Amino acid sequence: MAGQIDARELRRRAREYVEHERDERFRAEVERLLESDDADELTDRFYEHLEFGTGGLRGVIGGGFNRMNPLVVARATEGLARYVSSHGDRSADGTLRAVVAYDCRRYSDAFALQTALVFAANGIRAYLFPTLRPTPVLSFAVRRLGASVGVVVTASHNPPEYNGYKVYWSDGAQVVAPHDSAIISEVRAVSGAPALIGREEALEQGMLVYLDDRMDDEFAAMVKRQSVRPRLVRDTGEDLKIVYTPLHGTGAVMVERVLGELGLRVVTVAEQREPDGEFPTVESPNPEEASALERALALAMEERADIVMATDPDADRIGVAVPAGGGFELLTGNQLGALLADYVLGGRRECGTLPEKPVFVKTIVTTELQRKVAEHHGARVYDTLTGFKHIATVMRRLEEHPQEGTYVLGGEESYGYLIGTEVRDKDAITAAMITAELALYQRSRGRTVLERLHELYDQFGYYEEIQISRYFRGLSGSRTIAELMKRLRAESPRHIAGVPVHLVKDYQAHTTADLAANEVRHDIDLPSSNVLQFILEDETVVSARPSGTEPKIKFYASVSSPAGTPLETARQEVRDELHRIREWVDEQLAVIGAS
């Protein structure tokens, strides 16, 4: 912590950074701080190293060891390359290969090239996309090229001052145990100036290869193969008008192409179409937030569109709005996931293309409505921890043990979905195509998407969810969050929102505590994770989970009503309970002073 680092040590670290950083822009930043003796800024940039976590790096762009910059990226890649050299899967010709992609953020292209050149210097042939690409294209390319590893430079929907670096293994999924912790150890061991080869030299030696349009062609063809009712799209696609926004990110590269080639009419928000890492027209390029879709919704009203879609900067997540009462209603990630499960599983069953043992995968904080829908269509449902790498782990296990079933689709409440098995991370491009097809199908049945959602509520019960996130600023933030989780474990609530707590699931201890029976069972067969889940007697679920990428804690709550309850009555009852849960969460946070 900063309180344990004196000014002399901070300046030593800053001089070390200046010595090894090859990029003049970032080196000059730190030189100016040393000259001005800016203690606060030096502390923030050097009190610790930017943490290389299980998913990679994410941080504010700038000079310093606690920032995203070429030196930090190069050191991370050096450690990753060392691990790949000794443990990576080799391609059919015996070589080690890496695929590198990037999004629209500040310095993403420079960080991606730096990554590729460090791989090349370590004897790993780097395949680099020449321009920005969506994250699912990177995952697809890793698998298609038989690569050992993949990296995409992105910070997803974080503010403009952030960038990041996500690591993928040879199966196209983000790294999991045992690779994740071993890679972290290798990265932490790197010091000094990492090995680097010049771009021209790498090209001459065949260690740097720029990918051409063929990978895009193969990806687009793959997306179309996921269609449930291709004839419906072919015959009626031109009847659907879609307003789309990539929110200044990578989505237009593929969404416009795939939907356009299928004959669907796509009207893109012009002022948000071009990639721009400053995201000038939105406060946050996050399709979860209604404010990010304001321009798309206004355009949809003008165009009398049938559906609105938005993808985040690296096009792995999608937000959707549908016509409702003269305007448009934004679907939540849970609602869209339930609709996709209903359409894909039900449609494949109707068309005779559903596998014998279909599998649907969701996360533990995703609505149980999706479970009921999937099971209704004959699918087995797997629960995983939050994060798509865990969904990919289930996919890998099913491939190793096909008698258990066949993965069809999966998703998480934060607007991420994966249909099919040729990508191993969230894929907003395929989700956009299937969502358009879903809208066409509901129209062919004489109903809207929203009407179909209401039918699901009537059949399975009304479900609504909230997420409450609180940041803990400053150097003590992580300690404060840890103290809150410790208190919730030690003093488990007996009631939440006036409803008795029935079960307490601790995913770190792998236990379920039955409060009524006063017994604890070791019955959670998932990787250890710092998550607590409270199951109430009315089947309400409240979860607490510290974020893995930001200094905040998240609370999730899902409340439901019995099937057949009139919609307005169910909605009011559920929202009343959600309001009481929000008050309970505020009480817990007030104790520790959340911001």
Residues with catalytic roles: 156
Cβ neighbours of 319 (radius 10 Å): 26
- Backbone torsions φ then ψ of 161, nearest 5 degrees: -75, -5
Question: How far, CA to CA in Å, does 191 sit from each of 31, 47, 303, 370?
Answer: 20, 16, 56, 47
Structural contact between residues 488 and 553, judged by C-beta atoms closer than 8 angstroms: no
| Burial class of 213 by CB neighbour count within 10 A (0 to 12, 13 to 18, 19+) | exposed
**Maximal CA-CA distance, the chain:** 73
- Among the listed residues 154, 329, 324, the one whose alpha carbon sits nearest the alpha carbon of residue 251: 154
Distance CA 179, CA 87 (A): 9
Pairing of strands 307-311, 241-245: parallel
75: Cα separation from own chain's centroid = 24
Residue type, 201: E
- Among the listed residues 134, 124, 81, 129, the one whose alpha carbon sits nearest the alpha carbon of residue 109: 129
Residue type, 203: L
Question: How far, CA to CA in Å, does 65 sit from each of 20, 115, 336, 482, 534?
Answer: 11, 17, 40, 24, 39
DSSP assignment of 125-168, as one string? EEEE-SS---HHHHHHHHHHTT-SEEEEE--TTS-TTEEEEEEE
- Phi-psi map region of 552: left, alpha, beta (phi>0 left; psi -120 to 50 alpha): beta
Structural contact between residues 321 and 449, judged by C-beta atoms closer than 8 angstroms: no
- Contacts (Cβ under 8 Å, ≥6 apart) of 249: 103, 104, 275, 285, 311, 312, 313, 314, 315
163: Cα separation from own chain's centroid = 14
Distance CA 60, CA 69 (A): 9
- Contacts (Cβ under 8 Å, ≥6 apart) of 555: 467, 468, 469, 542, 543, 544, 545, 585
The SS3 call for residue 4 is helix
- Among the listed residues 457, 483, 453, 484, the one whose alpha carbon sits nearest the alpha carbon of residue 468: 484
Residue type, 266: V
Distance CA 565, CA 459 (A): 10
